[in-house]
Amino acid sequence: MTRSRIATRRDFLTQGLGLVGVGTVLPNFLVHTALAGQQTQGGDHRVVVLVEMSGGNDGPSALVPYAMDGYHRLRKMTRISEQQVIRLNDEVGLNPNLRPFKELHDQGKFAAIPGVGYPNPNYSHEQAMYIWHSGDPTKRLNIYDSGGGAGGGGRSDAVGWIGRYADSTFKDASDTQPTIAVGGTGSRFWLMEAHHRPCLNIEDPAAFGFRYGQTEPLYQRLNAVDAAKQNQIAELEYITHTVMQANATSQRIQEAAVRAKTNTANYPGSGLGNSLRTVGALIGGGLSTRVFFVRQGGYDTHSGQRGGHDNLMADLSNSIAAFHRDMTNQGNANRVLIMTFSEFGRTVAENNSQGTDHGSATPMFIVGNGVKAGVHGHHPSYEHFNPQGHFIPTRDFRSVYAAVLEKWLGTQSQPILGGTFAQLDCIA
């Protein structure tokens, strides 16, 4: 922590509980106030689990356009043969390592959306992910601004589309923790940044909680705030409210960690598998959370792509299939939706290193009992692409966001997305 004091609500979010983790220090006067008997209530509310495929997923290696001549002509080392493809329709099929997705598809629980992107795509990891997290293609991240943003860098006004959802829907709901990120989130974490309802970040649920020390800098700075000063009262009330939520949630989280260890859904032992196992336990524990975020890295496949990408596909599908089984076993499958996204796709043609470079237009996958199964749309053309060798997107990501917000979460999308976008008909 570089600043010497916490004077405002925003300071507290970025230095204090904007990301709550192991060993967070709180002053005694706030802790005592926080123990007000608040409980985190579960219910029959709907839940979205967002899976970030970080690095830039190569769309044609995941949702394979096996019927396009250009794919076979421009892909040699990264190409998946027509015999290996798991066909979904006459145009596209799945990577052979995504067989669990085909099983879900045949049960009416899997949807694929080809060629998702936005106008004038950006090919920088940080900028592109910021766009997907913010939900606004016009946004640009000031990477030289070290202040603000839970990721430790970027604009101080960074607010994600899920953060805006949490702000607008749960601003006055004191018993609800609307968003939780599970596992390592890397440096890019703007999706759930909010003005009023901060996200909890849980890397180790078994150790999640608070300790109370009197020598740590955060303790000293917070205790230095004079509660008697009228101009601090509003900020103290906000801090107390935030702490109260976190304390009420921490016991549930630790209990969920115990349940996760005994889960019988056979999750993979990967980072993604473990993160989804924890999410499953939190949902089973009755948390009031509406949106969970997990991350799978490794998709920046500039060289030697085929083997590594195939392994990622296996991990992705096995982890999500295990999570869906978990939800089914719990009786929660009807209220949980899983959605994947990546910051961008890859180039139309492979490079000379048996890989692909940063491009545009990548598929999204949605899993759950509430989806309209099938392929929604068409793969970008292999004959007509931009001069840089990048696909032309066939679907704006905001049409998917709008569908999830309105048809699944039951909230108006226009104030959150800053405009009206035709909702993709992918939710039952």
With respect to residue 311, please indicate whether it lies within any of the assigned structural domains.
yes
Q: Worst-scoring range by mean pLDDT, 31-35, 170-174, 275-279, 406-410? A: 31-35
Q: Is residue 361 domain-resident? A: yes
- Of 9 and 134, the structure prediction assigns the larger pLDDT to 134
Quote the pLDDT of residue 159.
83
Question: Which one is predicted more confidently, 255 or 145?
Answer: 255
* Domain presence at residue 11: no
- Range with the poorest average pLDDT among 92-106, 261-275, 283-297, 328-342: 261-275
Greater confidence, 318 or 255?
318
Q: Does the structure show a pLDDT above 80 at 210?
A: no
More confident residue, 246 or 21: 246
CATH at 104: 3.40.720
* Closest listed residue to residue 202, CA positions, set 145, 159, 143, 252: 252
User: To the nearest whole number, what is the mean pLDDT of the chain?
Assistant: 80
- The pLDDT > 90 percentage for the chain reads 59
Judge whether residue 294 has pLDDT over 50: yes
Cα–Cα nearest to 330, from 280, 397, 294: 280
> Domain range for residue 262?
41-216+252-417
- pTM given for the model: 0.82
Average pLDDT of the residues in 83-92: 98
What pLDDT shows up at residue 370? 97
pLDDT digits (tens, 9 = 90+) for 229-278: 444 555 555 555 555 555 555 666 667 667 666 677 899 999 999 999 98
- Report if residue 245 sits inside a domain: no
User: Is residue 425 a part of any domain in this protein?
Assistant: no
Separation CA 177–CA 156 (nearest Å)? 22
Task: Give which of 284, 291, 294 is closest to 408, Cα–Cα.
Answer: 291
pLDDT of 126 strictly over 60: yes
Q: Tell me, yes or no, whether 52 lies in a domain.
A: yes
17, part of any domain: no
How many independent structural domains does the chain possess?
1
DSSP output for 208-273: -SEE--SSSHHHHHHHTS-TT-HHHHHHHHHHHHHHHHHHHHHHHHHHHHHHHHT--S---SSHHH
From the list 424, 372, 375, 420, the residue with the least C-alpha distance to 403 is 424
207 in a domain, yes or no? yes
Least confident stretch, 37-41, 72-76, 104-108: 37-41
Q: What is the pLDDT of residues 162-208, one digit of tens each?
A: 999 999 998 777 667 889 888 876 545 678 888 778 787 777 666 55
Per the structure block, which two tokens stand in for 365?
Answer: 């996958």
